[in-house]
Structures are given as structure tokens and as C-alpha cells.
Amino acid sequence: MVTGIAAEAALVERLAKSSGIAVRVVCSGARASEAQRLAQGLLAEGVEALLSFGIAGGLSPDLNCGDLVVAGSVRLEDGTRHDCHPPWRDVLNERIDGAGLPFRQGSILGHHRALRQPDEKAAAFAASGCLAVDMESQGVAAVAAAHGRPFLALRAISDTQADSLPPLIETAVRPDGEPAVARVLAALAKRPQDLPALFRMRRQSRLALSRLESLEAESAVLFGGL
């Protein structure tokens, strides 16, 4: 399991207790290159499959905060696409649908930075057709494809296409995935008008994480126990 922030990694640890499957989780600190490096390390340790897991930005205008996206494929920034493992993807889709949770299947766009503005997200959607964007999935998908290992990405939407994200989001996470509180406070001191957006981001991220946590009953399938 490759996540971007510590809250996602902690959620994986809780879900793993219900799965009965050995799960190794790493956190990239919301850095695209680090996600790829960590995925390579996991394969070196002998893991059998890779899963990119956590929250994501919505690109499709009809996605709401908290909606789940099960990736059919991941598109890299250079246009390369890597398909997700069909049996794993399809069984998880069936379980999520049976649980009555709002979800979509489609492509996820991997990007080296957060897309902060609605016009950026709309342009990315028009150019790629991808439903969502994150900073971990492209590196993890590339590593899995290079080594012939099963791969899947599951994301919950934390900001919609219409949401603007403040500039502080780009430095708000420490390398260990924990919030960079001092940097956030310094940024707010310079731009106090960003405080409402920060509170909205926090509220929406919690909703997205809670939607992922609602998959506890499906944790064995989520972690590849087909």
C-alpha cells in the first residue's frame, strides 16, 4: 500500500486488522517521486501486489466530495496508461456497489503536483478524460507494470472540480506525511484569507477518509484477497 499522507497510512493499518492479510504500508509525504521509490522498495521486500490508496482531487464535474473512484487505469503525465488488475478491480467494484456506496470506475491521472484551480482541473479532465488526480498513483503503476505485478488504485474525492485550493497546500505536508503545522501557520499569517478554504479542505478530507474507512467489511478484497 502506497499512501500520500499519514492519515491515509493510519487508516490502512486499521483496515488491515480486519482483512487477515499481511499488508505493508508506506507513506510518500505527498511526493510523486518518493511514491515511486517506495513502491520499488516494497517489491524488493517481496510484496506480491501494489495498491495506491487515499484521497484525490476530482476532475470530472459530476463527482462529489466523498465519492469513491476505482481506477480502471492510471494515466501518466506523458500520456502512458497502465491498466489495473481486472479481477481485483472487478471484485472490488462488485463489493462497493453491493455496499451501496457512491463510486465510479475510470482512469486516474497521476501528476507531480496538486492541481489547485478549477480551470486546471477542467483542462486536465478535457485533455485526459480521467475522473480524478493524485500524486502517487502514476509512480506506483509504473513500478508495478515494469515488474509485472498486480496493481490497483482506489481513491476518495476530497476536493471537487469546482473547489479552489489555497497555495499553502503545496507545502502543507511533511516528508513523513504529517501536517506541516509551522509552515501552514506561517502561510496563513501572510494570507489569512485562506483560512476558510483550509477549514473546508479539512472537513472534506475527513469526509473522504471516512468513506474509505466504510470499506472495512470489504477489507479482505481491498487488499487482494480474491
How many angstroms separate the first and last alpha carbons of the chain?
A: 17
Q: What is the pLDDT of residue 69?
A: 97
Spell out the per-residue pLDDT of the chain, length 226, in tens. Answer: 999 999 999 999 999 887 778 899 999 998 889 999 999 999 999 999 999 999 999 999 999 999 999 999 999 988 999 999 999 999 999 999 998 998 999 999 999 989 999 999 999 999 999 999 999 999 999 999 999 999 999 999 999 999 999 999 999 999 999 999 999 999 999 999 999 999 999 999 999 999 999 999 888 889 887 6
pTM of the model: 0.93
Place of cell 517521486: 33
Q: What is the pLDDT of residue 18?
A: 77
**CB 40 within 8 Å of CB 143:** yes
**CB 16 within 8 Å of CB 53:** no
Strands 151-159 and 50-58, sheet pairing: parallel
Residues in Cβ contact with 201 at an 8 Å cutoff, skipping those fewer than 6 apart:
158, 159, 165, 166, 169
Q: What is the pLDDT of residue 226?
A: 60
Q: How many structural domains are present in the chain? A: 1
Determine how many CB atoms are found less than 10 A away from the CB of residue 46: 7
Burial classification of residue 114, based on how many CB atoms lie within 10 Å of its CB (0-12 exposed, 13-18 middle, 19 or more buried): middle
Q: Residue 129, SS3?
A: coil
Instruction: Write the CATH number for 105.
Output: 3.40.50.1580
Q: Show the domain range for 20.
A: 2-222
DSSP state of 36: H
Place of cell 472540480: 161
Q: What is the pLDDT of residue 17?
A: 84
